[in-house]
Structure 1
Amino acid sequence: MDRKKASKEIMELFIRAVRKYNALERIPVKSDTRHHLYHSERHMLDTIGDNPAMNVTDFARALGVTKGAVSQVVRKLEDKGVVKRYKSGTNEKEIFLELTDAGIDIYLKHKKTNEEIIRPLIRELNKHSVDKVQFLIDMFEWIDGFLDQSRKEMTKTV
């Protein structure tokens, strides 16, 4: 196998997948009778539901975005009445996030939907050896690190 040709094909497939994913992110989904949530909002809601004791800085780190990006999405979720902020009793600068009752309802429904969506991926992964699955995980971790490094280098020159 020609590695240069394979590298080009991998990059083209990755870019195509990213574009499709970005298109999906722009589609709001009705999560209940009152709320339409964009993908970034649903993802933030899930992250808050999964990690109720994390502060805004930790959320930004976990999601690979800036604190400003977290605050922007959280503000939209607050306006929709599904998330609220609160300050730590010990540190006034530390801001935590929690789901409201409406947020918890959406979070639980979204968790169930995510389990249904991931079933085809699990079936596909079950067709392959543990080594192949681990290789795929390793490659995505490498790509994640590569993109972080590329972003750092690009922002140095701006």
Structure 2
Amino acid sequence: MNTEEIQSSSQASNEISHNHQNSLVAESPRAATGSSSKGINQNKNVCREDIELVQNLIERCLQLYMNRGEVVRTLSTRAKIEPAFTTLVWKKLEEENSEFFRAYYISLKLKSQINLFNQLLEHQSHLMKSSVLPNTPVAPIHIGMDTKTGNFFQCYL
């Protein structure tokens, strides 16, 4: 597998950062393990190096906050690793590191909520810009504390 093939298949996972994605797979599993061109796990003889390679690639994906589906698709398209093999290694990592994965899944949910919040803010911004009519007064946005009531008015932009 050459660099052009790796980069051309990167469009399969638009959710991850392109800067990090290009460095995700530094070498082909075939080059590292001598496996056939069909990819890992089709040879039926999986060696320890194959498992370690997939584990290392999964760990790189975890640093990019990818979920299991994204990891499986990315390793399948970019490194030609069988999805079933990636899933098997993922499950083994989950069993061995249950506390880490519990926290990791919470981080994934938080990432999803932040992305949704940012999309909603952007949508609201577009709506506010397009719906302002000429000569229509706009209510001021208060940021800070109302000293009379003690209430906080905050704007999260």
Q: What TM-score does the superposition give when structure 1 sets the normalisation length?
A: 0.29
**Higher normalized contact order (CA 8 Å, seq sep 6+, divided by chain length):** 2
Q: Which has the larger radius of gyration?
A: 2
Which of the pair is proportionally richer in strand?
1
Which of the pair is proportionally richer in helix?
1
